[in-house]
Structure 1
Amino acid sequence: MSVALTSPAAPGHLHQQEPLRVMLVDDSVVIRGMISRWLGSEPDIVVAASLRTGREAVNQLERINPDIAVLDIEMPELDGISALPLLLAKKRNLVVIMASTLTRRNAEISFKALSLGASDYIPKPESTREPGAAETFRHDLVQKIRHLGARARRSATHPAAPAFAPAPDRLREATHRAPPVAHPSAPVVKRSFSQQNPRVLLIGSSTGGPQALMSMVAEIGPVIDRFPVLITQHMPPTFTTILAEHLARASNRPAREAIDGEAVKPGHIYLAPGGRHMRVVRHGTEAVVALDDGPPVNFCKPAVDPLFSSAIDVWQGSVLAVILTGMGSDGTRGGKDIVTAGGSVIAQDEATSVVWGMPGAAAHAGICSAVLPLNQIAPKLVRLFSGDRS
């Protein structure tokens, strides 16, 4: 049975102080009840409706008028991937977070959902009786709702800012639009690029990262051919397997999850596997991948900081790192280590980031030599790896 928990807010009169309105769509009464309890305890979030099928969500969207929809993939009558385009057709700026269990099929569907305009995805724990898994799910879901919802509202109240939509074609549109909404922090202070020639490219990303990565690797073939590329994307197991396959197709270069102990070679893209941190170590004259099963760093596993910090022991100041869209501040501490060792850091700008958390933290920490729109990062990398120091 569907239960609307609050009356809909009047469209066009949303204020930042008003709670974000969430529509839960899942055929499991257990999951709906659990998430409703979690979100109900957050002062800035309200569950506007709890629905059983995608059909109910499509039919009741105007009445509920949510800011965010948490949409299950597998449901009766109308599943999540079928409901997604119908929901976005009715409300273009709706933030849709796809929820699914960790299977290869669901990972594939989640990636398809991103290409159709879903804002993000979240893996559901295999068992809600495991306290650790449930708490991780709760933390991640609340953070995604809070950050993605806030971004969508800012876009709605500042028409010149890019409309929130992470699908690849809409990401490309965003790179050509007006400057981002002013950030409340201090102005960004940029550093000069390192005078050392970079010998490795490191990339860290989170929310919105898969789409940004696929767009970027398609344009940096000359870099990949001559230098190794190592990527940490906040993503669970199975999903990283699928992402590596997508990166291989987008770049037309070898890309796969990194293997513990393998040598790092030019011409390859190495992706941190879900659930394990990726570092690099020196073994004789070679750089070698080192995976570990340590605790989460910055609430993430894999995390960006371990990769960034470890790279300076191998390449010293010849490291160039890029921090793409994502929540939190992962990558800033490791980026500071890179800069201290003589390397350089580039951050994605706010206008083209799905969430300007990670790149914004790095930019305001004063460690970046450039803060660029997504479509300008790849050309800049090609020039830097070709010897341009400007």
Structure 2
Amino acid sequence: MAIKVLVVDDSALVRSLLAEIIHDAPDMTLVGAAPDAYVARDMVNQFTPDVITLDIEMPRMDGLAFLEKLMGARPTPVVMISTLTEEGADATLRALELGALDFIPKPKLGVTSGIREYAELIVEKIRAAAGVKVKPLVKKNRPELGSEQKLPASASLQSTEKIIAIGASTGGTEAIKDLLVQLPAAVPGIVMTQHMPPGFTRTFAERLNKTTRLHVVEAKGGERILPGHAFLAPGGHHLVVVRSGADYRVKLSDAEPVHRHRPAVDIMMESVAQIGGKNVVGVLLTGMGKDGARGMLAIRNRGGYTLAQDEASCVVYGMPKEAVALGGVDQIVALDKMGQVLLEKIKALGSGNRL
């Protein structure tokens, strides 16, 4: 049965371009194209779409207000259309908090060529969203940052010998946040790759820095990886971990995309496995595709420990599933238990004390 798609965008050009892309997909049908939230509301009730593409910037009622109402009244898979600006990035992350599953960057210039360039990705994201059962919007109870969680006793030393590598894609912005808020400031250094384009990762890192106990930054290259710090791969660059004497340091790479992604989880995890060996814990969270499976296997093969998010708590059980199938996963864990399990595995690595 064809996936029913509703396009909501105030730009007639964008509506036309998205309609063209949807029409060309053999497993999709366009049920409507709404210029604003009020028309969209009526079309949602009339056509009950399987997926909605939603513009953030619209007249009368913006996309965020519409999304919040939609998720409260009739939860539906939504893929946001986001402008490549700082304001657009912040609004997009807010949309993901409200329940949107993913987003498609909309260039400010060259809209026609830009959106057509993303055609394959747009279809892929709509297809993935159609398979997700969206839950009604509820306010998450996150741990209070004042109630500091303690590392297990034998792992309490802030050693720089250990390192945590986290990878995610679709649904990953919320999953990474949900994991990091479970961790204490004393946790070993973290490197992270989330599939996002340039312009979005810095805003994402800033939001994580405000909502967790960790010092989270978008990596610039050259930083020493220290306990209590988390480095996010910047959009458009792979994050690689290298040794500099006894230290782990961040290096950025402009090498070719892997699995069509730059940054790619595999690149990061394979570098960590190479230099960290048994001192590495790899974590693979929700995401579409197979990026990270090979990297998780590399970590496991070199004596590290690997954790994958379970299917029930994933938005899209793609990347973790591929890692399990490849034999790269030691333990499958629900997202709300991931922090505690991760700390237990840090403890099991031993009590190195080099700083």
Could you tell me the TM-score, scaled by structure 1's length? 0.80
**1:245 maps onto 2:233 in alignment:** no
Paired letter, 1:202: A
Q: Is 2:17–2:116's contact at 8 Å kept on the other side of the alignment?
A: no
C-alpha distance in structure 1 between counterparts of 2:142 and 2:132, whole Å: 14
**1:54 maps onto 2:17 in alignment:** no
C-alpha distance in structure 2 between counterparts of 1:45 and 1:386, whole Å: 49
Which shifted more, 95-104 or 201-210?
95-104
Cα drift, residue 119 of structure 1: 2.2
| Equivalent residue, structure 2, for 1:206 | 169
Task: Pick the aligned partner of 1:151 from 124, 127, 132.
Answer: 132
Cα deviation digits, residues 112-156 of structure 1 (max 9, x gap)? 22222222222113344685x44552222211111111123xxxx
| Equivalent residue, structure 1, for 2:140 | 169
Paired letter, 1:199: K
Q: Is 1:125–1:137's contact at 8 Å kept on the other side of the alignment?
A: no
C-alpha distance in structure 1 between counterparts of 2:203 and 2:33, whole Å: 31
C-alpha distance in structure 1 between counterparts of 2:58 and 2:129, whole Å: 24
Q: Is 2:188–2:228's contact at 8 Å kept on the other side of the alignment?
A: yes
Q: Within 5 Å, give how 1:70-89 maps onto structure 2.
A: 70-89=53-72
Distance 1:98 1:205, change over 3 A: same
Task: Pick the aligned partner of 2:250 from 289, 299, 304.
Answer: 289
| Equivalent residue, structure 1, for 2:15 | 32
Cα drift, residue 322 of structure 1: 0.3
C-alpha distance in structure 2 between counterparts of 1:341 and 1:126, whole Å: 45
Aligned residues: 334
C-alpha distance in structure 1 between counterparts of 2:251 and 2:81, whole Å: 31
| Equivalent residue, structure 2, for 1:41 | 24
C-alpha distance in structure 2 between counterparts of 1:91 and 1:384, whole Å: 40
| Equivalent residue, structure 2, for 1:363 | 324
Paired letter, 1:214: K
C-alpha distance in structure 2 between counterparts of 1:171 and 1:61, whole Å: 32
Q: Residue 325 of structure 1 aligns to a residue in which SS? A: coil
Cα deviation digits, residues 356-388 of structure 1 (max 9, x gap)? 000111112222111111011111011111237
Distance 1:130 1:341, change over 3 A: farther
C-alpha distance in structure 1 between counterparts of 2:339 and 2:192, whole Å: 15
| Equivalent residue, structure 2, for 1:184 | none
Q: Within 5 Å, give how 1:78-117 maps onto structure 2.
A: 78-92=61-75, 94-117=76-99
C-alpha distance in structure 1 between counterparts of 2:19 and 2:256, whole Å: 28
Q: Is 1:244–1:256's contact at 8 Å kept on the other side of the alignment?
A: yes
| Equivalent residue, structure 1, for 2:157 | none
**1:21 maps onto 2:1 in alignment:** no
Q: Which runs of 5+ in 1 are unaligned?
A: 1-17, 153-162, 173-196
Alpha-carbon RMSD across the aligned residues, in angstroms, is: 2.2
Distance 1:216 1:273, change over 3 A: same
Q: Residue 151 of structure 1 aligns to a residue in which SS? A: coil
C-alpha distance in structure 2 between counterparts of 1:230 and 1:140, whole Å: 26
C-alpha distance in structure 1 between counterparts of 2:201 and 2:161, whole Å: 26
Paired letter, 1:145: I
C-alpha distance in structure 2 between counterparts of 1:53 and 1:348, whole Å: 37
Cα deviation digits, residues 186-209 of structure 1 (max 9, x gap)? xxxxxxxxxxx9811000001111
| Equivalent residue, structure 1, for 2:150 | none
Paired letter, 1:204: G
Task: Pick the aligned partner of 1:261 from 194, 212, 222.
Answer: 222
| Equivalent residue, structure 1, for 2:101 | 119
Q: Is 1:119–1:165's contact at 8 Å kept on the other side of the alignment?
A: no
Cα drift, residue 287 of structure 1: 1.5
Paired letter, 2:46: R
| Equivalent residue, structure 2, for 1:9 | none
Paired letter, 1:376: K
Cα drift, residue 84 of structure 1: 1.2
Give the share of equivalent positions with the same residue, in percent: 34
C-alpha distance in structure 1 between counterparts of 2:34 and 2:297, whole Å: 46
C-alpha distance in structure 2 between counterparts of 1:362 and 1:22, whole Å: 31
Task: Pick the aligned partner of 2:281 from 320, 324, 327.
Answer: 320
| Equivalent residue, structure 2, for 1:330 | 291
Cα drift, residue 85 of structure 1: 2.1
Paired letter, 2:121: D
